Every structure is written in structure tokens, then in C-alpha cells.
């Protein structure tokens, strides 16, 4: 089979690598791919940008299945375009992508289908939002821009002043342009987070191993939020009670999607907050998580291509993904300064990382030399019988991956 993977991050490198291990797969086009996918077997990087260009290429090359990494293409309707041309693709259509593309849409969906989520109000004009914040008695409060904001659209505001600043930035200064036309103001939930990726064909839904992401940039969950600085799986807080709560969230979501005629084939990501009062859904992402994917692909035993095939044929009933009975630890190597200002263009040296796997993200290639080009540069992933061992291995491997201004958290999988 010929497959195509769209995107250029660590997540896409991990998916392309995992697909390359399938005996069913002959060829993987990575659009545009990165220096990591370029080095994987069966993979070829192809530089295409628009949905039209990508679709025409898939038709010409008779690509069997396309996997879409980034949400932007999904929200822009790549799945609709592919399906119109009879091409198989993993991802939600434009309407379904609103589950991530609009916080107002997703919160209203959760409310309608009685999915536990933080209480909230929505506002489309600044004066009403300001009045509400001024009259609100309890803080912290969480302010969310409605539309896509490259993962930066959520503000946890500890004081009234912070909340007023946040609505000013989003609704008046329009730092996320039209994504800030509407906002959600919701209660702050205290707890431990879990990321659960599931695969669905619209009729069936199957959860993957629950992950724990580490969103903040510094040890001990301090500092600004990032795309994710490391992941461990299974999530140690995901006990059987949480699993039961989650099942309810998951099945209510599937039922809701069916009732709303939401057309979903692919991966749906549930961001869950585990609190003392039960588990609540924070958000949906209509894509795989980054770096959750890097961790999960490394311990998935099943053939990912077969799973994608089953999903596109609406044949997931009875499909049980298999996982290695191990713990996995993924540590992100970032550029010092990320998620704010950082320098780039430093050469990367990679020595033997043993049984660990390195997935590339923010790197580019200059005359055959790999140099840093982004905030999250790469992910180092290790697996072992215990999370402590997996973590130790990952940190040993990191010593063999070097570049100037290398920064990473040193507490991923430590003291669990
Ligand atoms: P979201 O994009 O909605 O997942 O928000 C990004 C991050 O903000 C989440 O992963 C949480 O860390 C945090 N967050 C979002 N909503 C809440 C909430 N209601 N209470 C506490 N933290 C939240
Ligand atoms: N790691 C969280 C995300 O991909 O949104």
C-alpha cells in the first residue's frame, strides 16, 4: 500500500515511522515531512502546500490512505475534499473538526450530551464579558478564545485583573484575530490531567493507553504552558474509577456525534481533568497529540496501517489495539527560551541512543547537517518495565543528543 502522512512535526515522524514497520506498507509520502521522516525506511518527503495540491498528488500517485496530523488542514476541510475525490483519509470532516476548531461549539456539545465539563459562559461582546468578570466573586477563572490559537488560546487567570487583561488581549487587541470574536469563561478545575487518544469510525470508538502530558515548561509544572514537554504512559492517575468515568465521557461523545450527524473517521483526543469530584472533559482535539503520539507509537504492538484501514472501512468493531506491557517515557528537547523567544540554527549531534528512539520536530537540514529550527526540537522516547526505568533510560539517551541551548525538563517520569 501507499500511504501519505501530512505534517512536519514529531507526531508525524512517529506516525510515519510506525507505518513503515507494517508489512502492508510499501511507500509513505511525508508532506512535507522533516529531517526525521527523510531518514526512515519507505519514506519520501514531498513539498506540497495547498489542499488542492495535496489531493491532486494523492490521486496521481493512487495513495491508499492519507493521515492528517495538524488540525489546521482538518478545520479547513481537507477530509471533505479527499472524500469528494474518492480518496481514503483519516480525520474528521470540516463540520466535525469544529469539536476542536470552536470552543463554543465543543462546550455546547458537551452540555447538550451531559458530558461532565467545567461550568461556563460564552460571550461575543467585550462589554458583557467585562461586566461578568467584574461581578465574578471567585478566582482563578479560565478564559478561552473560541477559535484556533496554535495552542495558546487558554488563559488561567488568578485574579480579576488578569482576567480583564486576558479578555482585552483576546477581544479588543485581537491577538488571535477572529479566533477571539467569541470567548468561553469557565470555572477553574483543580486536578491531574490525562490525555486519552481514541480511534473511531463513527460507529465504534476505541481508547488508546491513557497518557500524562507535562504542559508547563519548567520542572514541577511551573512556568508558561507549552505544546507539551514530555509524556508518560500509562497515566499513573488513571485508576479504574477514572477509567469508568472516562468510558461514560467517551460513549456519550460517540452518541452525541451520531445524533448530530457528525462524520468522524480517525483519532479523537480527549483532554481530561481528574479531580476529587470525578473526571471532567476539558477539551477535544480532532487529531493526535504531540508528544502523546511519540510515546504511544513506541509501545503500540498493533499494525497501525491495519488500524487505519479498519477505520476507513467502518470496520473497527472488534478491533483491539495491542500494546506492549511496558511503561513509556518521552522527553522533549527544546530550545532554551521556548515557548517565548529562543535562538535557532544550532547544529545537532546525535550519537548512539541505544534502545531509545529519537523523533525529530523543530529541525531543518543545511547542506546535510541537521540544525535546530523550532521550539520543540526533538523527542527522546524509552520504554521499560517500570516508569522509573523508562525515565532513566530516556535521560541517559539524552546525553547523546546535543545542540547549543538544549533545554529539557528533568522530572518527566521521576518520583511518580
Ligand atoms: P484546552 O486547550 O482547553 O485543553 O486547555 C489547555 C490547557 O489549559 C489544559 O491542558 C489545562 O492544563 C488548562 N485548562 C483548560 N481548561 C481548564 C480548566 N477549566 N481548569 C483548569 N485548567 C484548565
Ligand atoms: N500535547 C497536547 C496536544 O497535542 O495538544
235 and 333, same domain (yes or no)? no
Question: Which CATH number covers residue 141?
Answer: 3.30.1490.20
Same domain, 303 and 339: no
Quick check: CB of 34 below 6 Å from ligand 2?
no
Residue nearest to atom 19 of ligand 1 (CA): 188
What is the predicted pLDDT for the residue at 137?
A: 95
The DSSP line for 21-33 is T-TT--EEEEEE-
For residue 367, what pLDDT is reported? 86
pLDDT score, position 366: 84
Ligand number nearest CA of 213 is 2
What domain range includes position 47? 2-93
* Residue 24 grid coordinates: 502492508
Given a contact cutoff of 8 angstroms between Cβ atoms, the answer to whether 262 and 98 are in contact is no
pTM: 0.95
| 115 falls within a domain | no
Take residue 205 and report the three cell numbers written for it: 470508538
Residue 317 belongs to a domain: no
Q: Of 166, 106, 176, nearest to 142 (Cα)?
A: 166
Regarding beta strands 27-32 and 43-45, do their DSSP bridges make them parallel or antiparallel, or are they unpaired? parallel
Mark whether 261 and 341 lie in a shared domain. Answer: no
Strands 406-407, 327-335: pairing kind: antiparallel
Mark whether 25 and 132 lie in a shared domain.
Answer: no
Res 363: pLDDT: 96
40 lines ligand 2 (CB under 6 A): no
CATH number of the domain where residue 368 is located:
3.90.600.10
Whether residue 414 lies inside any domain: the answer is: no
Report which protein residue has its CA nearest ligand 1's atom 3. 283
Q: Indicate whether 305 and 344 sit together in one domain.
A: no
Residue 291 lies in a domain: yes
* Residue 203 and residue 280 share a domain: yes
- Residue 177 inside a domain? The answer is yes
| Atom in ligand 2 nearest the alpha carbon of residue 228 | 1
Supply the CATH number for residue 271's domain. 3.30.470.20
> Among 197, 227, 270, 282, which residue has the most ligand 2 atoms within 8 Å of its CB, making it the best to mutate?
227
Pair (171, 199) in one structural domain: no
Answer whether 213 contacts ligand 2 (Cβ < 6 A): yes
Q: Is 271 in the pocket of ligand 1 (CB under 6 A)?
A: yes
**What digits encode the pLDDT tens for the residues 3-59?**
999 999 999 999 999 999 999 999 999 999 999 999 999 999 999 999 999 999 999
CA dihedral 394, 329, 99, 268 (to 10 degrees): 120
Average pLDDT of the chain is 96
Q: What is the pLDDT along the chain (416 residues), one digit of tens a residue?
A: 999 999 999 999 999 999 999 999 999 999 999 999 999 999 999 999 999 999 999 999 999 999 999 999 999 999 999 999 999 999 999 999 999 999 999 999 999 999 999 999 999 999 999 999 999 999 999 999 999 988 789 999 999 999 999 999 999 999 999 999 999 999 999 999 999 999 999 999 999 999 999 999 999 999 988 999 999 999 999 999 999 999 999 999 999 999 999 989 999 999 999 999 999 999 999 999 999 999 999 999 999 999 999 999 999 998 999 999 999 999 999 999 999 999 999 999 999 999 999 999 999 998 889 999 999 999 999 999 999 999 999 999 999 999 999 999 999 999 88
CB of residue 33 inside a 6 A radius of ligand 2 = no
Indicate if ligand 2 lies below 6 Å from the C-beta of 292: yes
Residue 17 belongs to domain with CATH number: 3.40.50.20
CA of 365 relative to ligand 1 center, distance in Å: 35
> No. of H helices and E strands in the chain?
13, 25
Look at residue 117 and tell me if it is in a domain: no
CB 188 within 8 A of CB 166: no
Shortest-distance atom of ligand 1 to CA 118: 19
| CA 291 to ligand 2: nearest atom | 1
Residue 309 confidence (pLDDT): 97
- CB count, 10 Å around CB of 221? 14
Quote the pLDDT of residue 335.
Answer: 98
214 lines ligand 1 (CB under 6 A): no
Any domain includes 98: no
Strands 349-350 and 401-402: antiparallel
By alpha-carbon position, which residue is closest to atom 16 of ligand 1?
282
- Quick check: CB of 213 below 6 Å from ligand 1? no
Which regions of 173-255 does DSSP assign to beta strands (E)? 183-187, 192-200, 205-207, 212-213, 216-218, 222-225, 230-233
- Which of 268, 283, 312 is the last residue in one of the domains? 312
- Same domain membership, residue 230 and residue 211: yes
- Of 137, 161, 181, the residue that ends a domain is 181
- Nearest-CA residue for ligand 1 atom 6 is 154
Same domain, 306 and 206: yes
Domain boundary at 47, 73, 93, which? 93
58 and 135, same domain (yes or no) = no
Burial tier of 156 (Cβ tally within 10 Å: 0-12, 13-18, 19+) = middle
Residue 102 lies in a domain: no
Instruction: Please state, in angstroms and as integers, the Cα–Cα distance from residue 96 to each residue in 58, 103, 256, 260, 315, following that order.
Output: 23, 13, 11, 10, 20
CA of 310 relative to ligand 1 center, distance in Å: 32
Closest residue by Cα to atom 4, ligand 2, is: 289
Number of domains the chain contains: 4
Which pLDDT value is given to residue 225? 86
**Beta-strand (E) ranges in 286-388?**
327-335, 349-350, 357-360, 363-366, 369-372, 376-384
CA of 103 to the centre of ligand 1 (A): 12
Judge if 342 and 365 occupy the same domain: yes
Q: Which atom of ligand 1 is nearest to the CA of 187?
A: 19
Question: How many Å apart are CA 207 and CA 370, to the nearest integer?
Answer: 36
- 196 and 175 within one domain: no
Amino acid at each position: 500500500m501507499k500511504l501519505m502522512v501530512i505534517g512536519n512535526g514529531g507526531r508525524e515522524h512517529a506516525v510515519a515511522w510506525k507505518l513503515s514497520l507494517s508489512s502492508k506498507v510499501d511507500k509513505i509520502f511525508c508532506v512535507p515531512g522533516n529531517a526525521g521522516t527523510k531518514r526512515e525506511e519507505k519514506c519520501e518527503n514531498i513539498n506540497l502546500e495547498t489542499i488542492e495540491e495535496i489531493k491532486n498528488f494523492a490521486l496521481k500517485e493512487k495513495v491508499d490512505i492519507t493521515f492528517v496530523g495538524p488540525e489546521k488542514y482538518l478545520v479547513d476541510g481537507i477530509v471533505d475534499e479527499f472524500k469528494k475525490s474518492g480518496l481514503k483519509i483519516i480525520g474528521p470532516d470540516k463540520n466535525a473538526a469544529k469539536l476542536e476548531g470552536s470552543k463554543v461549539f465543543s462546550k455546547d456539545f458537551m452540555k447538550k450530551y451531559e458530558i461532565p465539563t467545567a461550568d461556563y459562559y460564552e460571550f461575543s461582546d467585550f462589554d458583557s464579558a467585562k461586566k461578568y468578570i467584574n461581578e465574578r466573586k471567585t478566582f482563578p477563572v479560565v478564559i478561552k478564545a473560541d477559535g484556533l490559537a496554535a495552542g495558546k488560546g487558554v488563559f488561567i487567570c488568578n485574579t480579576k485583573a488578569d482576567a480583564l487583561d486576558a479578555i482585552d488581549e483576546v477581544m479588543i487587541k485581537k491577538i488571535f484575530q477572529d479566533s477571539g470574536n467569541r470567548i468561553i469563561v469557565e470555572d477553574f478545575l483543580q486536578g491531574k490531567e490525562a490525555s486519552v487518544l481514541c480511534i473511531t469510525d463513527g460507529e465504534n470508538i476505541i481508547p488508546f493507553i491513557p497518557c500524562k502530558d507535562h504542559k508547563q515548561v519548567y520542572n514541577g509544572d511551573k512556568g508558561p504552558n507549552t505544546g507539551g514537554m514530555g509524556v508518560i504512559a500509562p497515566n499513573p492517575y488513571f485508576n479504574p474509577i477514572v477509567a469508568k468515568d472516562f468510558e461514560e465521557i467517551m460513549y456519550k461523545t460517540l452518541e452525541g456525534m451520531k445524533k448530530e450527524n457528525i462524520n468522524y473517521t480517525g483519532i479523537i483526543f480527549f483532554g481530561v481533568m481528574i479531580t476529587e469530584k470525578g473526571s471532567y472533559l476539558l477539551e477535544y482535539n480532532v487529531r493526535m497529540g504531540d508528544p502523546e503520539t511519540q510515546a504511544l507509537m513506541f509501545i503500540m504492538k498493533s499494525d497501525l496501517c491495519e488500524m487505519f484501514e479498519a477505520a476507513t472501512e467502518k470496520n473497527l468493531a472488534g478491533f483491539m489495539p495491542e500494546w506492549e506491557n511496558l511503561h513509556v517515557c518521552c522527553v522533549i528537547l527544546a530550545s532554551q527560551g521556548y515557548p517565548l523567544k529562543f535562538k535557532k540554527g544550532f547544529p545537532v549531534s546525535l550519537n548512539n541512543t541505544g534502545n531509545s528512539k529519537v523523533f525529530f520536530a523543530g529541525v531543518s537540514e543545511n547542506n546535510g547537517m541537521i540544525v535546530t529550527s523550532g521550539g520543540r526540537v526533538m523527542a527522546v522516547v524509552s520504554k521499560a518495565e517500570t516508569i522509573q526505568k523508562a525515565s532513566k533510560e530516556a535521560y541517559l539517551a539524552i546525553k547523546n543528543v546535543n545542540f547549543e541551548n538544549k533545554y529539557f525538563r528533568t522530572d518527566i517520569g521521576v518520583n511518580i
